[in-house]
Structures are given as structure tokens and as C-alpha cells.
């Protein structure tokens, strides 16, 4: 699975100044400092947060695989009821 870039926003790059010689110009007001973050920047931050979650999520759930292996090895798991239900689902998926 591949998730591609969805917008023209880039992550914040540290160390780039806005003034000459790379200095960052600070502006202060009588009410104090303030920061406003654009909607696009908030969306990009959310996108990057979700992307990190997706990257950290395993593709295979080992606990479910182990549980299913244990069930399949049990002689009580596979019976006529299970076989019939599986056949019905296959037929339904094929449109019969």
C-alpha cells in the first residue's frame, strides 16, 4: 500500500530565517506574542500524524494468525456446520 503526497505543503523546515543574513525577525505587540497556523498547515500536520500511525501499524496481526492456527489445529473447529457456512459465503460472493 502506498500513500502519496496529497497537497503542496512541506513539513516545517527548521533554521530558515525570514530576514537578511538568515536572521528571524521578531515582532512584539502590546498584547503579547501570537502565532496563527493556517488551515493548510493544520491539515498537513494531521496528515503527517496519521501517516506515522499507519507506518507503525503492522501489516499482519500476529495475535489473530496464532489464534486461527490454533483453531485450525483443533479437531473440533472444522465441522459440517463450518464447512456449510463457508460454502454458502463463497456461493453468495459469486452471485449464486
Q: CA torsion angle for 14, 18, 21, 23 (degrees, to 10)?
A: -70
pLDDT at 44 over 90: yes
Q: Are 9 and 40 in contact (CB under 8 A)?
A: yes
Average pLDDT for 53-60: 89
Average pLDDT for 58-78: 87
Is residue 5 one of the residues assigned to a domain?
no
Q: Which residue has the higher pLDDT, 50 or 21?
A: 50
Query: Grid coordinates 505587540 are at which residue?
Result: 29
pLDDT value for 93: 95
Is residue 47 one of the residues assigned to a domain?
yes
Q: CA torsion angle for 61, 65, 67, 73 (degrees, to 10)?
A: 180
Supply the mean pLDDT for the chain: 80
Host domain of residue 78: 62-93
Average pLDDT for 49-65: 91
Counting the structural domains of the chain, the total is: 2
Is residue 39 one of the residues assigned to a domain?
yes
Q: Which residue has the higher pLDDT, 28 or 60?
A: 60
Is residue 42 one of the residues assigned to a domain?
yes
Is residue 7 one of the residues assigned to a domain?
no
Average pLDDT for 73-87: 87
* Gap between the Cα atoms of 40 and 59, Å rounded: 30
Same domain? For 72 and 49 the reply is no
- Residue 44: count of CB within 10 angstroms of its CB: 19
Amino acid at each position: 500500500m502506498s500513500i502519496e503526497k496529497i497537497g503542496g505543503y512541506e513539513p516545517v523546515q527548521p533554521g530558515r530565517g525570514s530576514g537578511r543574513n538568515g536572521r528571524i525577525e521578531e515582532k512584539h505587540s502590546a498584547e503579547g506574542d501570537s502565532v496563527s497556523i493556517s488551515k493548510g498547515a493544520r491539515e498537513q500536520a494531521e496528515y503527517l500524524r496519521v501517516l506515522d500511525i499507519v507506518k507503525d501499524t503492522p501489516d499482519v496481526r500476529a495475535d489473530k494468525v496464532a489464534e486461527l492456527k490454533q483453531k485450525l489445529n483443533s479437531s473440533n473447529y472444522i465441522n459440517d456446520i463450518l464447512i456449510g457456512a463457508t460454502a454458502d459465503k463463497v456461493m453468495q460472493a459469486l452471485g449464486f
